[in-house]
């Protein structure tokens, strides 16, 4: 579904160029859920933004469905295949657009028909009832906003969802609801996930495989079972695991 | 039982809104001894507002009311700003979530610590500088002389938070209120910052109020935990026994966390109960008890 | 529907229809605005001004142009409440009719300048690169000239008349709005909700119009209301210099200019229109403050 080879991403122009990600590669099979875990500055979110086409400064190879992507442009087919959910639900919704406007515009942009019934269906899918349709973001809680953001991402009926720390701005009880929702949606729609998080427990819960990142490089790729079974080899992964277990 | 450092009875913080009054804190009572007390809750539970109310940092039109709010027997409820300033920093200090926002970006780290110390201790510059260096060493910063001359944007998050702790503890307060001090930090530096703070608080025999949303962190790090829901304490228990909590809210919070060592197919979702908002008559008295022997 | 339930309907957190949501948002804004007493005062003054302009022929006691040289430079009295000017015209009637001119100037400038500014500023901020450079350097050139001098140059070139004065004011007033709109755009441009819309395949034009403009407009409106006083004064300045409204039009600035010669002995001739300019300028300032409370929640009063 997604293949990344020798990906290098930088910010700024030489001589001030900083390589945020250096020579990273991984594969995600269709229907798989893959995690990127690391601390701040490890480059995990940067990879996500490059795949989404939000940062054109990269070299290497990114393939979606076997088709290589161009650095600067994405076509309509790409937006129908790949969508993204952002970290901060307070920043990812337009403050002056109601839920109805957000979803309606998205559906129209994606060239969908029967907008009205589709909005209803999307809201049902993410567990928001009819009463939420005409609310503005300031009338929603953090968890409800993130549900709207997920509904927006699902509007295009994508197959690959890029999830950038989707729960790190939320309370733990709300995090559980959103993670469950994401798991349900994946099962229902056969989605592929690329999930970025700093929280190993969240990644282990959600993903089949994961890559541990440090300072722009992948230190190790493991399965969730290996992670739990204490089979991580790289010292940095072991250090992270120990820290999240509180040892 | 010695007299508590800080005693709070029936604390209420109220904000007027269009739909009527909103109480962010609704009748909170506790005593703080020379111990590490955690206040845990989700956003909107009133935990941060409690810290701000103690320090007199609730801004109008917000109102703070309490049957009693005493610091070593002296009432500090709604003191005039001048007196409150002397207490703030001098006797009660606060460490905030993100050092980036609480350090002044145009002053060097050293200047800020010296400034903070001199404000309360009225010491000459040379002495204040020596004190600042000592504090930086105490928070285990290598090469404190060099760090003194750096600006806040040049230090990492973990280092910034250590500097904040050094700055806050320099005037020798008796109580430290730490509001989510490690939430903005990476997991691998979290432990370090916590243990530094812990040691300093213990060595100086201070009282610590640790405000956090992270139950597991708190259970490892504190002596006693208050769990807040909708502006009230729903349960008080020793941190060691947190995992045997009885209140459904506490249990729900614990269960909703994904865990590395205990995989589940589906996370338990907290079912909120309207009854939690109201005081439980049986638990009312237990709220304020200090653990025995203190 | 009773009054109480209508209020609840408007303040509902869960609106059932698009219309209820929109009306609710407006009502919330109105409540915030109403809480600001001074802003309400400003609004009331401006409503009175508009009412005065509309009803001018009916409420003014005399014609603004009828001269009565026998009755010139009379102090305020029962017959002429605000006195008469050098040609024996009733000052009150001239002020009432002058409010139409003031409103015309203010309204036109307030329409033209911010729209030019919004367009140039958001395009510059959103496009970036050389487009930004070119547009902002042009803005800088306009900013580098003193506003009134530039307006003077325009009017001198186009010929003195009220229409040209308005045009000149509008052409000199837009650069600050462009600056403001560009700054707003730069902060919005990288927001996640813009990124999300881009990921839906939204074109740049759509992002600009549907997503960026609505967020810039509110701060521009506030700024315009606050700048109104300045515009009125500039218009009066042009009138005073004889480059705006031409006699015998009762433009307030020109009226002050007429009264200048007698200011020591017959103070009311210049003071009355001065007072009118002051009142209206202040009303706009107060209104702007209130609008800021409503439209710009970032500047929350602490």
In a domain, B1, yes or no: no
Residue B257 lies in a domain: yes
Mean pLDDT of B157-167: 86
Query: Please, which chains are in contact with C (at least 3 CB pairs closer than 8 A)?
Result: A, B
- Chain B neighbors of C14, CB-CB under 8 A: none
Which of B17, B18, B57 to mutate to test binding with chain C, by most C CBs within 10 Å of its CB?
B18
Question: Cβ of A172 and B213 within 8 Å?
Answer: yes
- Tell me which residue in B18, B19, B59 faces C302 most closely, judged by beta carbons: B59
Partner residue opposite B220 with nearest CB, options A205, A224, A246: A246
- Report the chain C residue with the minimal C-alpha distance to residue B19: C11
How close is the nearest chain C Cα to the Cα of B167, in Å? 26
pLDDT, residue B290, reads 44
Residue C82 or residue C41, greater confidence = C41
- In A, minimum Cα distance to B264 occurs at A205
From chain A, pick out residues whose CB is under 8 angstroms from the CB of C21. Answer: 98, 100, 134-136
Say if B187 is an interface residue toward chain A (CB within 8 Å). yes
Convert the pLDDT of each residue in B250-264 to its tens digit.
888 888 888 887 788
Q: Of A34-38, B18-22, B116-120, C73-77, which has the strongest mean pLDDT?
A: A34-38
Q: How confident is the model at residue C86 (pLDDT cuts 50, 70, 90)?
A: confident
Instruction: Calculate the average pLDDT of chain B.
Output: 83
- Report strand pairing: A2-11 vs A18-28: antiparallel
Query: B19 and C11: CB-CB below 8 Å?
Result: yes
CA C4, CA B222: separation in Å to the nearest integer?
50
Count contacts between A and C (CB, < 8 Å).
76
pLDDT, tens digit, 9 for 90 and up, residues B102-111:
888 888 888 8
CB contact under 8 A, B269 and A202: no
Highest mean pLDDT out of A21-30, B214-223, C287-296:
A21-30
Domain ranges of chain C: 41-56+81-299
Q: Over chain A, what is the mean pLDDT?
A: 89
Give the pLDDT of residue C297.
Answer: 55
Rounded to the nearest integer, the mean pLDDT of chain C is: 86
Chain B residues with CB under 8 Å of A174 CB are 42
Q: Which of A185, A205, A226, A230 to mutate to test the interface with B (most CBs of B within 10 A)?
A: A205
What's the structural domain count of chain B?
A: 1
Provide the H-helix boundaries in chain C. Answer: 3-11, 18-35, 37-54, 56-59, 91-127, 129-144, 147-158, 162-189, 192-199, 204-206, 213-240, 252-259, 268-295
A108/chain C closest Cα distance in angstroms: 10
Residue C204 has pLDDT above 50, yes or no: yes
- Give the minimum alpha-carbon distance from B291 to chain A in angstroms, rounded to a whole number: 25
Q: What is the ipTM of this complex?
A: 0.88
Instruction: Identify the band that residue C16 occupies on the pLDDT scale cut at 50, 70 and 90.
Output: confident
Interface contact B18-C302, CB threshold 8 A: no
Q: Of A195, A192, A219, give the one whose Cα is nearest residue A35.
A: A195
Question: Contacts of residue B18 in chain C, CB cutoff 8 Å?
Answer: 11, 31
Predicted local confidence at residue C254, as pLDDT: 84
Cβ–Cβ gap B18/C31 under 8 Å: yes
| A contact residues 23-82, partner B, Cβ 8 Å cutoff | 39-40
CATH of A2-44+51-173+187-226, one of 3.30.420.40, 3.40.640.10, 3.30.559.10, 3.40.50.300: 3.40.50.300
Instruction: Identify the pLDDT of residue C3.
Output: 56
Length of chain C: 302
Does A177 lie at the interface with B, CB-CB under 8 angstroms?
yes
Q: Of A44-53, B150-159, C226-235, C244-253, which has the strongest mean pLDDT?
A: A44-53
Least confident of A13-17, B58-62, B283-287, C88-92: B283-287
**Chain A residues lying within 8 Å of B228, measured CB to CB:** none
Instruction: Verify whether the Cβ–Cβ distance B188 to A204 is below 8 Å.
Output: no
Give the closest-approach CA distance of A91 to chain B in angstroms: 17
- Chain A residues interacting with chain C (CB cutoff of 8 angstroms): 49, 52-54, 76, 79, 82-84, 86-88, 91-96, 98, 100, 105-106, 109-110, 131-132, 134-136, 139, 149, 152-153, 155-156
Q: Between B120 and C42, where is the model more confident?
A: C42
CA A194 to chain centre: 5
Q: Residues B85-91: what's their mean pLDDT?
A: 84
Q: Does B263 touch chain A (CB under 8 A)?
A: yes
Interface probe for A, chosen from B260, B263, B264 (most Cβ of A below 10 Å), is B260
- Give the Cα-Cα-Cα angle A230, B192, A201 (nearest 5 degrees): 35
How far CA A105 is from CA of A142, B81, C116, C190, in Å, comes to 22, 51, 27, 20
Question: pLDDT digits over C241-299, tens only?
Answer: 878 778 788 888 888 888 888 888 888 888 898 899 899 989 998 998 888 888 765 44
Say if the Cβ atoms of B188 and A240 lie within 8 Å.
yes
- Give residue A161's pLDDT band: very low, low, confident or very high (50, 70, 90): very high
Specify the range with the lowest mean pLDDT, choosing from A39-43, A108-112, B27-31, C197-201. A39-43
Of A146-150, B94-98, C196-200, the one with minimum mean pLDDT is B94-98
Binding-site residues on chain C for chain A (CB distance < 8 A): 13-18, 20-21, 25, 191-193, 195-202, 206, 210-211, 214-215
A173 and B190 within 8 Å at the Cβ level: the answer is no
pLDDT of residue B1: 47
**How many residues does this entry show for chain B?**
294
SS3 content of chain B, % helix, strand, coil (to 5): 40, 25, 40
- The share of chain B scoring above pLDDT 90, in percent, equals 6
The stretch C53-68 carries a mean pLDDT of 87
Chain A residues inside the 8 Å CB shell of B188: 39, 239-240, 243
What is the structure's pLDDT at B119? 81
A161 vs B185, which has greater pLDDT?
A: A161
- Minimal CA separation from B210 to chain A, in Å: 17
Give the 3-state secondary structure of chain A: CEEEEEEEEEECCCCCCEEEEEEEEEEECCCCEEEEEECCCCCHHHHHHHHHCCCCCEEEEEEECCEECCCCCCCHHHHHHEEEECCCCCCCCCCCCCHHHHHHHHHHHCCCCCHHHHHHHHHHHCCCCHHHCCCCHHHCCHHHHHHHHHHHHHCCCCCEEEEECCCCCCCHHHHHHHHHHHHHHHHHHCCEEEEEECCHHHHHHHCCEEEEEECCEEEEEEEHHHHHCCCCCCHHHHHHHHHHHCC
- Of the pLDDT bands very low, low, confident and very high (cuts 50, 70, 90), residue C4 is low
CA distance B124 to chain A (A): 40
Question: Chain A: residue nearest B252 by CA?
Answer: A173
Please give the average per-residue pLDDT across B25-52, as a whole number.
88
Chain C residues contacting B via beta carbons under 8 Å? 11, 31, 302
Q: C11–B59: do the CB atoms touch at under 8 Å?
A: no
- What mean pLDDT comes out for the span C24-33? 85
What is the nearest CA distance from A124 to chain C, expressed in angstroms? 16
* Token reading at B2: 């010695």
Q: Measured between CA atoms, how close is A80 to chain B, in angstroms?
A: 29
Question: Does the pLDDT of residue A247 top 70, yes or no?
Answer: no
Q: Which residue of B has its CA nearest to C8?
A: B19
Which band of pLDDT confidence, cut at 50, 70 and 90, is reported for residue B293? very low
Write out chain B residues lying below 8 Å of C31, CB-based. 18
Q: Which domain holds residue B84?
A: 6-286
Cβ-contact C287, C276 below 8 angstroms:
no
Chains within contact range of chain A (3+ C-beta pairs < 8 Å)? B, C
Strand A217-223 relative to strand B232-238, pairing: unpaired
Residue C302 has pLDDT above 80, yes or no: no
pLDDT interval class at A103 (50, 70, 90)? very high
Per-residue pLDDT tens for C90-124? 889 999 998 998 888 888 988 899 999 999 999 99
**For C187, nearest residue in chain A (alpha carbons):** A91
Judge contact between A105 and C210, C-beta under 8 A. yes
Query: Once rounded to an integer, what is the mean pLDDT over residues B124-139?
Result: 87
Average pLDDT over residues B2-25: 85
Residues ≥6 apart with Cβ < 8 Å to C51: none
Q: Which residues of C touch B19 (CB under 8 A)?
A: 11
Confidence of residue A150 (pLDDT cuts 50, 70, 90): very high
CATH number at residue B221: 3.40.50.300
The residue of chain B nearest to residue C32, with distances taken between CA atoms, is: B18
Mean pLDDT of A87-104: 90
Average pLDDT over every residue of C72-82 = 83
Give residue C11's pLDDT.
Answer: 77
Contact across the interface for B43 and A243, Cβ inside 8 Å: no
- Band (pLDDT 50/70/90 cuts) for residue C2 is low
- The pLDDT assigned to B2 comes to 63
CATH number for the region C41-56+81-299 comes to 1.10.3720.10
Q: Is B81 on the interface with A (CB under 8 A)?
A: no
């Amino acid at each position: 579904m997604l293949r990344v080879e020798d990906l290098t991403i930088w910010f700024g122009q030489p001589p001030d160029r900083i390589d945020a990600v250096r020579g990273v590669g991984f594969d995600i099979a269709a229907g798989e859920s893959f995690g990127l875990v690391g601390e701040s500055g490890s480059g995990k979110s940067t990879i996500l933004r490059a795949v989404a086409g939000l940062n054109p400064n990269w070299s290497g190879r990114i393939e979606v469905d076997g088709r290589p992507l161009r650095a600067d442009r994405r076509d309509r087919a790409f937006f129908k295949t790949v969508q993204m959910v952002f970290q901060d639900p307070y920043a990812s919704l337009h403050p002056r657009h109601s839920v109805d406007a957000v979803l309606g515009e998205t559906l129209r942009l994606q060239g969908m028909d029967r907008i009205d019934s589709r909005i209803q269906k999307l809201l049902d899918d993410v567990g928001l009832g009819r009463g939420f349709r005409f609310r503005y973001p300031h009338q929603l809680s953090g968890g409800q906003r993130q549900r709207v953001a997920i509904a927006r991402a699902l509007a295009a009926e994508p197959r690959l969802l890029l999830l950038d720390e989707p729960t790190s701005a939320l309370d733990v009880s709300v995090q559980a609801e959103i993670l469950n929702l994401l798991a349900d949606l994946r099962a229902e729609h056969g989605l592929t996930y690329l999930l970025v998080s700093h929280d190993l427990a969240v990644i282990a819960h959600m993903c089949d495989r994961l890559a541990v990142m440090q300072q722009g490089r992948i230190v190790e790729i493991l399965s969730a079972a290996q992670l739990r079974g204490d089979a991580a080899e790289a010292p940095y992964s072991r250090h992270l695991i120990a820290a999240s277990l509180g040892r | 039982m010695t007299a508590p450092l800080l005693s709070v009875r029936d604390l209420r913080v109220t904000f007027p809104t269009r739909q009527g009054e909103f109480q962010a804190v609704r009748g909170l009572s506790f005593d703080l001894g020379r111990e590490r007390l955690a206040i845990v809750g989700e956003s909107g539970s009133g935990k941060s507002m409690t810290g701000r109310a103690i320090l007199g940092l609730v801004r109008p039109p917000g109102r703070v009311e309490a049957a009693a709010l005493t610091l070593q027997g002296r009432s500090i409820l709604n003191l005039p700003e001048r007196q409150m300033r002397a207490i703030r920093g001098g006797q009660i200090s606060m460490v905030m979530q993100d050092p980036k926002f609480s350090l002044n970006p145009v002053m060097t780290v050293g200047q800020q610590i010296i400034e903070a110390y001199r404000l309360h201790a009225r010491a000459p510059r040379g002495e204040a500088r020596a004190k600042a260096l000592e504090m930086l060493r105490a928070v285990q910063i290598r090469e404190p002389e060099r760090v003194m001359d750096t600006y806040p944007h040049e230090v990492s998050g973990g280092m910034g938070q250590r500097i904040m702790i050094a700055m806050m503890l320099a005037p020798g307060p008796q109580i430290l209120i730490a509001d989510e001090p490690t939430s903005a930090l990476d997991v691998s530096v979290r432990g370090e910052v916590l243990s530094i703070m812990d040691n300093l608080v213990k060595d100086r025999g201070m009282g610590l109020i640790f405000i956090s949303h992270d139950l597991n962190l708190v259970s490892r790090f504190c002596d006693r935990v208050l769990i807040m829901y909708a502006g009230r304490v729903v349960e008080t228990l020793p941190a060691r026994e947190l995992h045997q909590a009885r209140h459904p809210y506490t249990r729900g919070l614990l269960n909703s966390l994904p865990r590395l060592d205990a995989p589940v197919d589906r996370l338990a979702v907290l079912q909120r109960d309207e009854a939690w908002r109201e005081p439980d008559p049986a638990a009312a008295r237990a709220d304020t008890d200090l653990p025995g022997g203190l | 529907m009773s009054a109480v339930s209508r209020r609840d309907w408007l303040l509902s957190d869960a609106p059932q229809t698009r219309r209820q949501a929109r009306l609710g948002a407006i009502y919330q804004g109105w409540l915030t605005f109403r809480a600001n007493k001074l802003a309400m005062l400003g609004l009331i003054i401006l409503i009175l001004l508009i009412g005065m302009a509309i009803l001018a022929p009916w409420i003014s006691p005399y014609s603004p142009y009828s001269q009565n040289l026998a009755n010139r430079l009379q102090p305020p009295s029962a017959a002429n409440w605000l006195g008469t000017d050098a040609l024996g015209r009733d000052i009150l009637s001239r002020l009432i009719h002058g409010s139409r001119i003031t409103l015309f100037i203010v309204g036109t400038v307030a329409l033209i300048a911010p729209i030019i500014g919004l367009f140039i500023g958001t395009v510059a901020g959103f496009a970036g690169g050389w487009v930004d450079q070119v547009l902002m350097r042009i803005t800088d050139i306009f900013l580098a000239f003193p506003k009134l001098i530039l307006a003077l140059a325009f009017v001198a070139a186009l010929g003195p008349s009220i229409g040209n004065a308005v045009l000149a004011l509008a052409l000199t007033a837009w650069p600050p709005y462009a600056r403001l709109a560009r700054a707003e755009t730069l902060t919005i441009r990288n927001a996640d909700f813009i990124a999300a819309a881009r990921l839906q395949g939204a074109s740049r034009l759509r992002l600009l119009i549907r997503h960026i403009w609505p967020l810039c407009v509110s701060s521009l409106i506030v700024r315009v209301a606050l700048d109104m006083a300045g515009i009125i004064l500039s218009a009066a300045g042009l009138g005073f210099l004889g480059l705006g409204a031409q006699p015998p039009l009762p433009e307030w600035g020109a009226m002050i200019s007429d009264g200048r010669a007698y200011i020591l002995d017959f103070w009311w001739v210049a003071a009355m229109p001065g007072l009118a300019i002051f009142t209206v300028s202040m009303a706009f300032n107060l209104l702007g403050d209130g609008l800021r409370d409503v439209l710009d929640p970032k500047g929350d009063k602490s």
